[in-house]
Amino acid sequence: MRWISRRRLLQLVDEDLVRRAIAQAELRTSGEIRVSVSTFFWGSVERTARQAFERLGMTATRERNGVLLFVVPSRRRFAVLGDVGIHQKVGDELWRKVSAEVSGHFREGDFTGGLVRAIELVGEELGRHFPRGPEDVNELSDELDFGKHPPEP
């Protein structure tokens, strides 16, 4: 599959269910979770995920505790990126755990189930390390990003 339309992406990912999972997870943390769903491209998923991380302003959170789940359904690939604040607390172990947990969902084509499970796992860790305070505000949108992700040069 070389190209996938936005309509097809919306069929593969239940946007409302994922957005509700993000909102639910963020009720217990000051951390921020974003999901970016990409069309097909050649090149490094991880490099393109880092570009999306920057483009979405993930480094702008007060405690540097944003986490991006970057999904490329047409390639059945994904990346999990955490900003420095959360990464210092959990290291690569959380990202490996999330990847292992959701890989089966993605292999089966269950992108929504995989994303919801990833959000739950990330939300638990964010809540443990960055509990929500009374002054907490939602610093980043909970909307899924279906932006164009240009191939790497």
Could you tell me the domains of the chain?
Answer: 6-129 (3.10.310.50)
At 72, the pLDDT band (50, 70, 90 cuts) reads confident
The answer on pLDDT for 121 being more than 90 is: yes
The answer to whether the pTM exceeds 0.85 is yes
CA distance 69 to 79: 6
The answer on pLDDT for 131 being more than 50 is: yes
Report residue 116 as tokens: 């919801």
CA distance 80 to 68: 6
How confident is the model over 11-34, as pLDDT tens digits? Answer: 778 999 999 999 999 999 999 999
